[in-house]
Structures are given as C-alpha cells and as structure tokens.
Amino acid sequence: MVRNLDDERLVRQIKRDSSKGMDMLVEAYGSLAACIIRRKISSVCNEADVEECVAETFFDLYTQLDRIDLKKGTLKGYISLIARRRAIDRFNRAAKEKSSETELDEFYSSAIADEASTPEERAEEAETRSLLLDEVRGLGRPDSEILFRRYYLEQSLNEIAEALGMKRPTVSKRIERALERLRLSMEGYI
Amino acid sequence: MMKNIEEELRKAYDMMTPEQMEENISDIETAPLSSDSEQRIKNMIKEKMGKTGKKGGEKAVRRWIAAAAAFVIVLAGVTAFSSENVRAAVAKLFGFVPGVGVIEVDEEDTAADSVYILDGTSETSDEMVSLDIKSAVIMGDKLELRYTAYLKKITDKDLEKNINTLSDMYFEKGYNKYFAVSTLEEDMYQPLTPITSAAFNGTEITPYNTKVTETESLESARSVCISQFYDLSSMAEGEEMQGVLTLGDLSVDFAMRKIDLDSSAEGAAGGTAVSIGGVKMLCRPQIKEDRLYIDYYVLDKGGYKEVYGVRGFGNKTDCLTVAYEEIYGWIDEACIFESEGGMFAGRFVYDLGGYEEKKAELSIYGMYVKKDFEDKGIFFEDAPERKQTLNKTLDFDGITAEIAEMSVKYYGEEQGYEENENGYLVLRYSVKDSNDVCFTNFAEISVNGEGVEGFYVNGYDLEYCNLVIPLPIPFEEIRAVEFESINLMLSGEASIDIPLQAE
C-alpha cells in the first residue's frame, strides 16, 4: 500500500492538538461518513441521529488512533468501516425501539448473516459475494464507481451524474448495462 | 433476475472486507456537509473528548490503585500438598485482594468506569477446531476479546508442503467454514478472516476491529490468534455479564467478572494489582493441569504509548519461587496477539509439575513500555556529508543518547544485507540509562518525516553500537532523522504472594 503522507500528517496533528486535528478530519471525511451512515439508518432515524452517529464514528477513530496502521489502510477507509459499523448498531437500536419488523427484516437480509443458514452456506455466500465484487471491479471505471455509489452509498442518479460529470440518462444506461453484464457473468452463482 | 443482482450487489457491498472498502472508497468524493451540520458534529466530538479527560491520543483510566506497598501472593507450606490443593487454594485466594492500596479517584469519573475480566476459562472444540478465549476485558464501553482457534487438522507437514498455497490448503481441509479464506496473493501469509458472531447479555454485537495473527503452537499445529474489539456503549452495566462467541458453527459461552478496584472490598478482585513506574497492571493467575498461567491486564498505561508487559530489569528476571527454588516462565506463544496497546498485555506460563508446595511467590522487577517523543533527532540544514562526526546528545526524559558519528554504507548480499539503492545510514551511538529507566531500543524512526522500517542494531562494543537504517531517499536529501518512540524498561519491584486460606 502506498503511504499516504496526508493521513500521517493528519494523525500527527490530532496527537499534537486533538481539537484542531479532529476538526480537520471532520472537514476531510465528515460528508463521506454522513453519506454511509445516512444510507443505513435514514429509514428509522432522522438527520440529527445521522449527525450524532457521525460524531460517534469520529470519536471512535480518535480513541483507536494508536491502533490504526496507515501501512494497511487509509483514514478514509477506516472511517468508512467504522461509520458502517456504527450505523448498523444505531439501526439495530432504533429499529427495536420502533418495533419496525418489516424494515428490520429487510435490513437484516442485506446486512447481517442469515442465522438460519449453515456455516457452509454462509461461506459459500461469502465466496459468491466476493466473486461478484471481483466482477464489478472487472467492469472498470466509471461503471464500478457508479455501482458503488448507487448500491452502497445509495446515491440518486442525479447525485451520481453530478459527481461524475455525466448526464443522468447516461448514468441510468450504464447501470442497466453493467447489471446485465453482471447477471450474465454470475449466472449459475446467483 | 435483475432484482436479484441488485440485492446481491447490496449484500456484497455490505460484506466488504477492509481491503475491498479501501479499493472502492479511494476515489469517492461526496458533497460537503452544510457548515451548520459540520459544526454541530465537531462540537459533539469535542464534547465526547472533553468527557474522557483525554489529551492527545491517550485514554484516561478513571480509577486505579496506586500501591504503596508490595502485594504478596504466597503459597507457603512446609508440608507437601497435592496439586489439587494448590489449585483449590489459588481458586479460593483470588476471590479477594490481600494487599492494601491507596485508591485515587479521577474527578472526571463517569458511570462507565468499571473493569470486567474473563471469569474462569472458556473453551470448546469440535473435530476441526479448538476455540479458547484467552482474555476478555471490558473497560469503560469497550470489550476486548482475544481468543485462539487451534486448527487441529493442520500439521507441520501440511504447512511445509503448502507454504505457497496456504489458502488452497485451508479450503481443502474445510476451514472455510470457520474462516473467510482470501485467495489474493498479497494475503498469502495471512489469508484467514474469522467468520464470527457474538452476543453479549443477549444482544448481538459486532466487532469494530478484528486483528488476526497466526503462530505455531507448542504442539506444532496451527493456532490463529484473533483479537476483536466491540463497543458496548448501548449495554446496561450489571454484576453478571455473559456472552457467547461463535466461530463458524462452534460456540463458546463466556462470563465476565467485575473487578472492584476499591481495596476495602473483599471477595471482589479476581486478581492482584501491581504498579511499576506509574504503570498499573492486574495479574491474574489460574492453575490448569500443573501449570500456573499469569494473565496481565493493563489498568493504567501511566502516560506511555504502549505497555507490552512485565519483564526483568538489569540482571533481575521476573520469576516464580516455589519451595525456595526459582522457576522461570515463558510467554504463552498461543497468546501472541497482534500488538494493540489494549488491555491484555499477555500471559506467562510456569510449570508446576513435580512441585507439591502450597506456596509460591511471583517476583516482578520491570515493566516493558513504549514512549513517544517529539523533535528528538538529528537535523541538517544542508546535505550531510557521507561520513561525519556528530557528537549530538539527546535527552529522552532522563535517558541520554549520544550520537557520535554518522556514515552512509552501501551494504549488499555479501555483507548479508538486502540491496538498497540509497544505502544504509549508520549512526554510532551510546546510551546512558537512568537508575529507574533502562533503554531497550529505538521503536519508531523517521527520515524527513517518513517512518522507516527494517532498521536494526549491530556492532556492539563496550560502550557504542551501530544503528543501521535503510535509507528511503538519497543521503544528500536527508534533513531530519527523528526518533519518534523508544522502548524502555521501567524498574520496580513487586511480589505477589498467595496464602492458602482466605483471611
């Protein structure tokens, strides 16, 4: 992994002046964390909860700063993972409070291993999903990025179009074609 | 079918590995937050940071015992007792804290300041795997779980035969039901990611961090050491804390025991606290099959960046004395978890086989730590010379290092070094320790602000030795060589004594 000097400088800044350093970190990655979290919890939480969850994410990173190995990952990657986990925890709590069975089931089916499946089935599913992500990577950019923005960050077609400097119909068409290619290449696995 | 692909894609993204996340997220930019939203988030973070009383990256320990006197654990006896009695005595003993300590309570105490550790042992096995929880610690809102999975079907021969195809071997042996096995070449040496789930007090919990190392066990098979860290901030605290960990389809229950750091309470500890050089550790012995296992838990890092565990100091080595005979233990190799700076510092093992005494005394003389420093190094305004006298003295809080000279060498395979196009920077140095702190080695070094790896020490004589640093840049471009952290031994003395009968 190529060392990211900006990340290292940022970590040093946090250690020297935690308040200022964390501000810089939020400015750099706050919107990404919010995007990931909002995607997970917006069905059961409001925007204030999203902000709180983002704050928890960055605080988690702060408390784990000594454990972060920038040779293995970037701050962006770590924040993304922590944000996802925080969002899952927040969703679990909020969903239980709201007793929203339908949303809970839908979320569980996408985010949490099916408890009814056997370990062999879970391992097979994990392998299939890894293969699917390999196929997505094989599509190359911008399709792989479009799919990630659409199906992980849950961005709208307009948001994706604006981010990539494309027209909305182009994004829509690319998604359609990419899914078709994936369907063909994953036939027999899914 | 289109719908299935979309669902599968969402699921696949949700189950991304950290590497896959890195790959996908690297070029992603998102629309900025509104300034109001950003400011609210910053304020919330500052509020959380303020509550912990932290400065920099260190976590404040809210309660700790500063030992004014040594704690003594003695299994004393003039008559022979069976190992069973020894076991019973130790088990009975560690229901109370025998010593006396001064309790210092941080004024910023919050409700979440309890410490829980693993109560008893937790292990289970099937025909493929033995799962053994080595340590479980809750401090504040964080649970650290460290366990080993002993892969019964992997032998030395399997490893030798499959050294370049470990992932294939794991699939063939069927370990893919316990681990996600990576087939990427870069993960060739660490292809296993545990497939785990956990619950605590009936609530499913998800680790926010998982680290995996592998080690050869004493039985020459394969032990995978897994550390997982969980956030329990939504859990209600209670005296009884129960959890279950599942690896593949193998589950093991574990219970946590609260450590009451109030020394006036009896029947509460499950361990004994020792304090050396400002570092507080809990020592928790357990006897199992004629071996004494001492687990060390860090209660307070004492301001150091990392605490590795107890050690000797100078010519004194930590040891167990049984019947006036000194026994030296060893580090449980199955407990060599990837360094985390977390609470569990490790486990020592002492062989009690053949001893029938009811008394033992554990003596500790030193604590092994890492300390951070800033602006400690050699700085050049212009290009340095290929060889020059420096006579630069650096003070590391009482330890004085003198960097006598530097030179640049171009070592190669003939000298037993890896080829490095920029050569090696050799710093000839000597160190004078203080009475209470002993220099062990340089832990982290940077050149022009970039950390370097693979440095080492050679060329010892009575006073000086050579620090050899592979240069990441041509030597003419060097402007700063900084020593960012050093490993130290802290001196202190603590004895742990176990009486047979609880008082």
- Residue-by-residue DSSP string for B318-332: -EEEETTEEE--EE-
Residues 6+ apart with CB under 8 A from A162: none
CA atoms within 13 A on the CB side of B23: 14
Cα–Cα distance, B269 to A20 (Å, whole number): 40
Question: How far B68 CA lies from chain A's nearest CA (Å)?
Answer: 31
Distance of CA B210 to the CA centre of its chain: 13
Q: How far is CA B259 from CA A104, B274, B437, in A?
A: 37, 14, 30
User: Quick one: DSSP state of residue A117?
Assistant: S
Which chain A residue shows the shortest CA-CA distance from B31? A31
Give the chain A residue whose CA is nearest to the CA of B46. A19
List chain A residues with CB under 8 Å of B33. 30-31, 34
Q: What is the pLDDT of residue B191?
A: 66
ipTM of the complex: 0.82
CB B401 within 8 A of CB B394: yes
Residues, chain B: 503
For chain B, the average pLDDT equals: 73
Judged on CB neighbours under 10 Å (0-12, 13-18, 19+), B268 is middle
Which helix (H) or strand (E) segment holds residue B259: the answer is strand B250-259
At B297, give phi and psi (nearest 5°).
Answer: -120, 135
What would the two tokens of residue B302 be?
A: 């004492």
CA A155 – CA A35 distance, rounded (Å): 9
Close Cβ partners of B175 (under 8 Å, ≥ 6 residues apart): B128, B129, B151, B153, B154, B181, B192
Residue A93: CA atoms inside 13 Å, Cβ hemisphere, count? 14
3-state helix/strand/coil string of B28-43: CCCCCCCHHHHHHHHH
Q: What's the pLDDT score for residue A53?
A: 93
Does residue A158 have a pLDDT over 70? yes
Cα separation, A185 vs B284, in Å, equals 56
Q: Provide the β-strand partners of residue B104.
A: B64
d(CA B406, CA B98) in angstroms, rounded, equals: 54
Q: Classify B378 as helix, strand or coil.
A: strand
Cβ pairs A/B, distance under 8 A: 197
Measured distance CA(B328)–CA(B131) in Å, rounded = 28
Is B294:B348 a contact under the CB 8 Å cutoff? Answer: yes
Give the model's pLDDT for residue B157: 74
Alpha helices in B422-477 (DSSP H): none
Locate B254 and state its tokens. 């574990």
Q: Does A65 touch chain B (CB under 8 A)?
A: yes
Task: State pLDDT tens for residues B66-83.
Answer: 222 222 222 222 223 333
pLDDT score recorded for residue B214:
61
Residue B312 and residue B448: Cα distance in Å, rounded? 35
Q: What is the DSSP letter of A19?
A: H
Q: Which tokens go with B378?
A: 């050699």
Chain centre distance of CA B289? 26
Q: What is the mean pLDDT of chain A?
A: 81
- In tens, the pLDDT along B162-195 reads 666 777 788 888 998 998 887 645 444 456 788 9
In the numeric block, which tokens belong to residue B194?
A: 């545990």
Residues 76-115 of B with CB under 8 A from A: none
Q: Residue B281 and residue B272: Cα distance in Å, rounded?
A: 8
Q: A18, B54: Cβ pair inside 8 Å?
A: yes
- pTM of structure: 0.49
Beta carbons of B402 and B430 less than 8 angstroms apart: yes
Q: How far apart (Å, rounded) are the C-alpha atoms in residues B399 and B403?
A: 13
pLDDT tens digits for range B389-429: 999 999 988 889 999 999 998 877 666 677 788 999 999 99
Bridge partners (DSSP) listed for residue B194 = B179
A122 falls in which pLDDT band (50, 70, 90)? confident
> Least CA distance to A70: which residue of chain B?
B451
Q: Residue B388 carries which side chain, given as an amino acid letter?
A: Q
As given in the structure block, the two tokens for residue B419 are 């080829």
Strands (E), B16-110: 63-66, 102-105
B136: closest CA among B284, B28, B309?
A: B284
Mutate to test the interface with A, among B3, B13, B374 (most CBs of A within 10 A): B13
Residues B362-373: pLDDT tens digits?
788 888 888 998
CA–CA separation, A18 and A59 (whole Å): 11
CA torsion sign, B170 to B175 to B177 to B178? negative
B411/B417 Cα distance (integer angstroms): 6
Comparing C-alpha atoms, which of B60, B208, B241 is closest to residue A56?
Answer: B208
Token representation of residue A64: 């784990």
Question: Residue B382: what residue type?
Answer: D
B73 contacts B98 by C-beta, under 8 angstroms: yes
Position B10 confidence tier, pLDDT thresholds 50, 70, 90: confident
pLDDT at residue A1 greater than cutoff 90: no
pLDDT category of residue B321 using cuts at 50, 70 and 90: low
> Which residues of chain B are within 8 Å of residue A8 when distances are taken between CB atoms?
449-451
- Which residues pair with residue B346 across a beta bridge? B296
Portion 301-330 of B in contact with A at CB < 8 A: 305-306
What does the block give as tokens for A167? Answer: 């027209």
Q: Residue B8, Cα to own-chain centre: how many angstroms?
A: 38
CA angle B339, B342, B345 (to 5 degrees): 70
pLDDT at residue B203, as a whole number: 85
pLDDT digits (tens, 9 = 90+) for B11-57: 888 888 777 888 888 878 888 888 889 999 999 998 888 754 433 33
Q: Min CA distance, B92 vs chain A (Å)?
A: 37
Q: Which two three-digit tokens encode residue B78?
A: 């003039």
| Shortest distance, CA B56 to any CA of chain A (angstroms) | 4
Distance CA B390, CA A81 (A): 46
Give the integer Cα–Cα distance in Å for A105 and B473: 55
Asked if B25 lies within 8 A of A32 by C-beta distance, the reply is: yes
Distance separating alpha carbons of residues A67 and A52, to the nearest angstrom: 23
A117 close to B (CB below 8 A): no
Backbone angles phi, psi at A113, to 5 degrees: -60, 140
Selecting from A1, A52, A113 the residue whose C-beta is nearest the C-beta of B44 gives A52
Distance between B331 CA and the closest CA of chain A, angstroms: 23
Mean pLDDT of A107-114: 42
Rounded Cα gap, residues B232 and B101, in angstroms: 30
The count of residues in chain A is: 190
Structure confidence by residue, pLDDT tens digits, A53-88: 999 999 988 888 877 777 777 888 889 888 988 888
Asked whether the beta carbons of residue B22 and residue A132 sit closer than 8 angstroms, the reply is: no
Round to whole Å and give the CA distance between B319 and B312.
Answer: 9
pLDDT more than 70, % of chain A: 86
Pick the residue of A13, A52, A148 with the most B CBs within 10 A to test the interface with B by mutation: A148
- For the segment B473-485, the average pLDDT, to the nearest whole number, is 93
Cross-chain residue pair A31–B32, CB shorter than 8 Å: yes
Q: Give the up-direction half-sphere exposure of residue A184: CA atoms within 13 A in the CB hemisphere.
A: 6
For A118, the closest of B57, B249, B374 (CB atoms) is B249
**Of A142-156, B95-109, B266-280, B297-311, minimum mean pLDDT range:** B95-109
Residues of A in contact with B374 (CB under 8 A): 16
State chain B's maximal CA–CA distance in angstroms.
Answer: 80
Nearest to B280 by CA among B444, B57, B135, B99: B99
